[in-house]
Amino acid sequence: MAFVLFFIFLAVVGILMILVYASSPKPVDIGGRLSRTLKTPGSAEEDGASNTAGRKAENVFVAIGALLPKPKAKKLSQDQTLLIRAGYRSPNAYLALRGARVISCVALVALVMWTGLSNLNPFAVILIAGFLGAYVPEFFVINRVKARQKLLRLALPDAMDLMVICVEVGLGLDQALMRVAEEIEIAHPELSSELQMVNLEMRVGRTRLDALRELGERTGLDDIKALVGILIQTDRFGTSIVQALRTYSDELRTKRRQRAEEMAAKVSVKMVPALVFFIFPALMVVILGPAALTIMHSLLPAMK
């Protein structure tokens, strides 16, 4: 009983600490934003130091990845597409990913052997550790892709509103894309970089349709693919771009509201495990604990 009470006490204290931390206001990093915007000398030095350390680690990963045999074309294409969607456009990104897989695999196997877990079943434990270690970098990249797609999805309605305004005042679609990319560079840098990439591709000679199709494939986001399809159809059939953009902007706002309502509806289901494993046991101890102690004190003398 004492151990159960101690465990419940720790669980309740932990939940209270998490709730207090989650509800406390987060400090606004105004100085960091201003330093990134204004490019002050101090921020430049800090960025330079962090970039130097990251570059050294990347060089190590690239050197190890270059020693491995060349994979199949299908696997290479899949990994490169995944890295581009995660925001890694460097030519050495794929080699760095392969090197990170090797280092992660070796590190996890060494950790298993050092902790003594390999004594349980040396072959199976080491094999599982190596398999998991080889896929840890890929899991990281996949999570990075999901986080980046989420940021793009949240930024798209604002960009659509700005694009509608730019087209309504008389700008062409190419100039509207360029202006929107400049305006949202600070608020939504991910979508701004993608639109700037579209403008650069059109400047070097690619057609607008090809650049827009590449935007949809590069991001892998259904909302952007739908936008690309709308722009291609309006350009092909000569319909009003303003009306199409305004309709799609309203649709994006509706989708955002529906996603928020869906997340709110899932809250009650997600609270069930916390209620069952943490709240209800504490309530049972508080409510039935005194009654159980009274019954024990009353029955034990009679049983003797």
For residue 231, give both structure tokens: 């722009």
pLDDT at position 148: 92
User: For 88-99, what is the mean pLDDT?
Assistant: 84
Q: What CATH number is given to the structural domain containing 170?
A: 1.20.81
Q: CB neighbours of 59 closer than 8 A, spacing ≥ 6?
A: none
- Look up the domain containing 243 and give its range: 152-265
For residue 169, give both structure tokens: 């005042």
Decide if 120 is inside a domain: no
Task: Name the amino acid, one letter, at 290.
Answer: P
pLDDT at position 41: 46
Work out the percent of the chain whose per-residue pLDDT is above 90. 5
For residue 242, give both structure tokens: 């303003």
- pTM beyond 0.85, yes or no: no
- For residue 271, the Cα-to-chain-centroid distance in whole angstroms is 23
Q: Can you tell me the distance from the alpha carbon of 180 to that of 218, in angstroms, rounded to the nearest whole number?
A: 19
pLDDT at position 45: 47
CB 212 within 8 A of CB 198: yes
Decide if 182 is inside a domain: yes
Decide if 107 is inside a domain: no
Q: Can you tell me the distance from the alpha carbon of 245 to that of 161, in angstroms, rounded to the nearest whole number?
A: 8
Decide if 290 is inside a domain: no
Lowest mean pLDDT among 27-31, 172-176, 273-277: 27-31
pLDDT at position 278: 84
Does the pLDDT value for residue 180 go beyond 50? yes
Does the pLDDT value for residue 73 go beyond 80? no
CB 129 within 8 A of CB 113: no
Decide if 5 is inside a domain: no
Q: Can you tell me the distance from the alpha carbon of 89 to that of 83, in angstroms, rounded to the nearest whole number?
A: 7
- For residue 80, the Cα-to-chain-centroid distance in whole angstroms is 18
Decide if 128 is inside a domain: no
Domain count, the chain: 1
Instruction: Considering only residues 49 and 122, tell me which one the structure prediction assigns the higher pLDDT.
Output: 122
pLDDT at position 129: 81
Q: Where are the beta strands (DSSP E) in the chain?
A: none
User: For 37-41, what is the mean pLDDT?
Assistant: 47
What would the pLDDT profile of 184-222 be if each residue is shown by its tens digit? 988 889 899 999 999 888 888 888 888 888 888 888 888
Q: Can you tell me the distance from the alpha carbon of 186 to that of 235, in angstroms, rounded to the nearest whole number?
A: 30
CB 249 within 8 A of CB 161: yes
Dihedral class, residue 148 (left if φ above 0, else alpha if ψ from -120 to 50, else beta): alpha
Model confidence band, residue 95 (pLDDT cutoffs 50, 70, 90): confident
Decide if 163 is inside a domain: yes
Decide if 257 is inside a domain: yes
Instruction: Considering only residues 64 and 275, tell me which one the structure prediction assigns the higher pLDDT.
Output: 275
What would the pLDDT profile of 133-152 be if each residue is shown by its tens digit? 888 888 889 999 999 999 99
- The rounded mean pLDDT for the chain is 78
